Structures are given as C-alpha cells and as structure tokens.
Amino acid sequence: MWCTPVLGGEGSAIVSHLQSSLLSVMKESKQLAYQGRYQKLESVVKNSHDLPSVMRLAVGKHWKTLTDDQKAHLLMTFTQLSIATYAGRFDGYSGETFTVISEKTTPRGRFLVETQLTKADGKPVRFNYLLHHSHGEWRIINIIVDGVSDLALKRAEYSNILKTKGFSSLVAMLEKQIHKYASDQ
C-alpha cells in the first residue's frame, strides 16, 4: 500500500478552510459579484497554495532560463489568475457540499487529501489535493479533479508556449484568461 491514512491532520484543515471559503463566496456570489469574490478569496488562495512552486513546476526546465524580473512578473500574473479562476468558477450556490473523504501520506512525504463536491443534483465531483511542506507549512501544489491533474495540464500548456512562442506570449495568455473571468460575470 502506497498511502497511509492520517485523517484530521493539517492537510485536511488547509483544504477544509479553502472549501468552506469557496462555499461562503458561492452563497454570497450575487451580493459580492466577481470583484467581491476575488477579494474574499485572495488571502485564502495565497495562504493555502504554494503558488511559487506550482509556477516553477508548471514551466518546468524553462524556469531556469527566465530572468528574475520575468519570474516575478510571471508569478504575479499566475497568482492573479489562480484567484480569478476560483472567483470566476465558484459563482453561485444551489446546495452544493464538500466532504473530506480521506487524507493520506505519500511515499515522497506529501499529503493527498481526497474530497468530494456533491452538486445540487447529487452528482459527485472528486477534488483531490496534493500538498507539500513548504517553509514550515503544508500548501497545495496540485488539484486533481475527477482524475485530471491541473498541474499536468498547466505544465503541458505553459512549457509549450514558452518553448514555441516565448515569455511574452505566456504572460499575454494568462492575462487574457484573467480578463475572461472578470468580464464573464
């Protein structure tokens, strides 16, 4: 067996706080509108995710080729996109619930927190969170939704854009996604 259950740990607490914050903004989505959801989720996302590590993993070997200014700009834009994604996608409430199913340690010393979102129609959506220890705290580095790794998708897309079109194109694509979330509301 490759995982050991450790329910009730710090990893579950990080994920539970994120999910309860998502439910809160979903319930208030009409009053908050997009900008209000963004503001309420900003510190939650920054404190629950290790966005610098996610960004480095997403661009892969290309990270080393970027200047310090490019890295800082890319991380700032990626952070804005991460918050915008939550604010844009969790934009209404119809009785959804989150449930933590299990928390397991992995062979590499990480935590896998398995959760389920139950939609209003009763259909389940699996949200599994991979956390690692960073600067003395557990932080999310990947979210696997119904078996699809968000980090793997980002890595394939971001590293390809950097390789074929360059840094400016990657930043432009991220900014376009941020704008789309903000304007779709």
Summarize pLDDT for 115-160 with one digit per residue, the tens. 999 999 999 999 999 999 888 889 999 999 999 999 999 999 999 9
Q: Which residues are 117's β-sheet partners?
A: 98, 125
Summarize pLDDT for 42-91 with one digit per residue, the tens. 999 999 999 999 999 999 999 999 999 999 999 999 999 999 999 999 99
Task: Name the pairing type of β-strands 111-118 and 124-134.
Answer: antiparallel
- E strands within 89-183? 97-105, 111-118, 124-134, 137-145, 148-149
pLDDT at 76: 98
Which residue segments constitute the domains of the chain, with CATH numbers given?
Answer: 4-183 (3.10.450.710)
> Where residue 3 falls among pLDDT bands split at 50, 70, 90?
very low
pTM of the model as a whole: 0.92
| Tokens 């979102």 belong to residue | 117
> Where residue 109 falls among pLDDT bands split at 50, 70, 90?
confident
Question: What is the amino acid identity at position 1?
Answer: M
Buried b (16+ CB within 10 A) or exposed e, 63-82: beebeeeebeebeebbbbbb
> Where residue 184 falls among pLDDT bands split at 50, 70, 90?
confident
